[in-house]
Amino acid sequence: MPTDSLPGDSLPAAEQPVGSIAGEPKRPILIVLHQERSSPGRVGQLLIEKGYPLDIRRPVLGNTLPATLSEHAGAVVFGGPMSANDPDDFVKAEINWLNVPLKEKRPLLGICLGAQMLVRQLGGKVQANPQGLSEIGWYPLRSTDKGRRLIRWPKMVYHFHSEGFDLPHGADLLAEGDVYRNQAFRYGDHAFGLQFHAELTRAMMHRWVVHGAHRFILPNAQQGREHLEGRMLFDAPLRAWLDEFLDLVFEGKPAKTASLGKAMLSA
């Protein structure tokens, strides 16, 4: 299976610990990336720490996606510079492929573009804000009642997008924002979509700020300094949330903070 190191991160894939509660090796998580130098970042780091090998594939470079996830513990589909509406064959093929984890009821997490592709597979629309506003930088996040029953959500999250998505029919909205309302959803028991990015390491954010600076002129985008300052203020709770959220998605573990959320609802 293809593997990658995690550029700018401290734990290379070659040092993946593999194990499970029963002592058997865990099946790998399929990692779908959309650029040659993309990294699974902190999601990859945390999954490795939890004992999952990573099977990294890049369909944009010609890597094929498996016809079944029977040999995988689940999949994460990451973001990228393209749109889920693009006519490229690999975009259409990847959207169609998402029916595999949905049909097999395998854990699936879509992040930004990955969430938008999932929405397209589920029959929803992906489009820009009517006023042309972007979310590039740190913006507030509000959990819904259903979201709070699952986990306690961070109050500020990091974005880098200028399109959002409809809530697919049958999906539960878990968190919402101001400019793009639909920020996190759950479809069935196994599929999750996030519009925001919790996976960025510090090195990744520095690269995004440098290479994405041309997008800071977009309406509502924050400047690079605000991205880095926001990280110092908001990243610690975002990382803690991601750690628990991955347990929820891939192991079905109730979040430690879920009981707090339920208590807040009943108060």
Residue of 163, 199, 227, 244 with catalytic role:
199
**Closest C-alpha among 228, 175, 239, 214 to residue 42:** 239
Classify domain 13-266 at the CATH class level: alpha beta
pLDDT less than 50: residues of the chain: 1-21, 259, 261, 263-267
pLDDT > 70: percent of the chain = 88
Rounded distance, CA 33 to CA 153, Å? 25
What pLDDT sits at residue 13? 36
pLDDT at 17: 36
pLDDT of residue 147: 98
Provide the pLDDT for residue 23.
64
Is 169 catalytic? The answer is no
User: What is the per-residue pLDDT for 72?
Assistant: 98
pLDDT digits over 106-156, tens only?
999 999 999 999 999 999 999 999 999 999 999 999 999 999 999 999 999
Active site residue 199: yes
Q: What is the pLDDT of residue 267?
A: 42
Which one of 72, 94, 112, 227 is the catalytic residue? 112
> Taking the complete model, does pTM exceed 0.85, yes or no?
yes
- Please name the amino acid found at residue 44: G
Q: Select which of 159, 161, 190, 197 is catalytic.
A: 197
Note the pLDDT tens digit of each residue in 146-169.
999 999 999 999 999 999 999 999
